Chains A and B, each alone.
Chain A
Amino acid sequence: MGRLTRSDTVTAVVAAPVVVLAVCWLAVLGWVLVDGHPIWTVRPRNLAEAAAFRDGAEVVRRVSAGERISVPAEVRPGFISGSAAVTVTPLEAAAKARRIEIIRLLLDLEPAVDPATWARAWCIEEDEGIRAALADSRPGAATTECGPAEER
């Protein structure tokens, strides 16, 4: 095998990072095809998590598959709560995550929300924008008084 010339060394130094980048890129693309993505690994496990994660497409897919915005489900810690998981309805999760667009999407997908679900979402977050979005779809019998029954 011949001795490396200076020209070979320069070429190798300049080419190596680009080759490494290309290999890593292909590896990531292959990983995506087989098992999600190496950077973004968290996927919603239910409609409440989809709402908390601001994942509009997942919300639409799950509602189309039959999940309801009034059915509570567990949201993992660190997203809309501190160190503990919380069990909330998707509408509450969207309100707690302060996502007006997700609230509007949920209420658009399921306009006939029951008064109790609406009231709990109203009481979980006091932000004016959130409450304005909820007020647009307030069921007639829903209360805006926040007592023990409306708070988890």
Chain B
Amino acid sequence: MGRASGLAAAADDAVRFVGLFAIVLGANAALSFAYTKNDIMSIAGTFYALAAFAGIRTAMQRCERLPRARAAAMIVVLGILVAGWSVRAANVHYLLRTQAFRHQNDWVQLPGNWRGTSRWPADPAGQDLIDRLRDSAIGLDIPNTLAGEPRWPEYVWED
């Protein structure tokens, strides 16, 4: 396969990836319209990776054909973009840890609040399941994200 045909195939892939993302984004938005919230678009967010991949790959290929100065500028822009997204991606770990602590505390509190209300299952198997899940959550050694957290994470990542 020649260089020109390779680039054409890559361009075709890019169009497909971006098109697929656009379709999933539209479908996801339509399905979740009744409950509009950023998190609800997470399925389309997964497919965003495809569109981002297509965009970055196309930009990298363009770099090879640009004059030297413009190529250098584009490489710098790509570097900043990827570094910024990497810092943002590290937020996943931060967010998962903070959510883990919150959910562990929820498991400590909520079953006690549910007892004696309509939320507490009448079925002994259901009660046993809740008790076992609560015990399991309490047994986990999770860092306390509310005590003594340094200030810098809140400046870098949103909670």
Contacts and interface: CB of A to CB of B under 8 A. Distances in A.
Contacts of A24: 90
Interface of B is mostly: helix
Given A39-B153, A56-B104, A108-B112, A44 B63 contact: no
Interface centre among B82, B143, B145, by most chain A C-beta atoms within 10 angstroms, is B143
Contacts of A20: 86
A104 B109 CA distance: 9
Interface in A24-42: 24-25, 28, 32, 36-37, 39-42
A13 B75 contact: yes
B94 interface: yes
Contacts, number: 106
Q: Give the secondary structure class of A's interface.
A: helix
B29 interface: no
For this complex, into which size category does the number of interface residues on chain A fall? 35 or more
Contacts of A57: 104-105, 107-108, 137-138, 140, 142
A9 B79 CA distance: 10
Nearest to A14: B82
Interface of A: 6-7, 9-11, 13-14, 16-18, 20-21, 24-25, 28, 32, 36-37, 39-44, 52-61, 78-79, 101, 104-105, 108
Interface of B: 56, 60, 63-64, 71, 75, 78-79, 82-83, 85-87, 89-90, 93-94, 97, 104-105, 107-109, 112, 137-140, 142-150, 153
Contact of B86 (A13, A18, A52, A55): A18
A10 B105 contact: no
23 contacts: A10-B64, A13-B78, A14-B79, A14-B82, A16-B82, A28-B93, A32-B143, A39-B97, A39-B150, A40-B144, A40-B147, A40-B149, A41-B148, A43-B143, A44-B147, A52-B147, A53-B146, A54-B105, A55-B144, A57-B138, A61-B138, A79-B148, A104-B112
A40 to B, nearest CB: 4
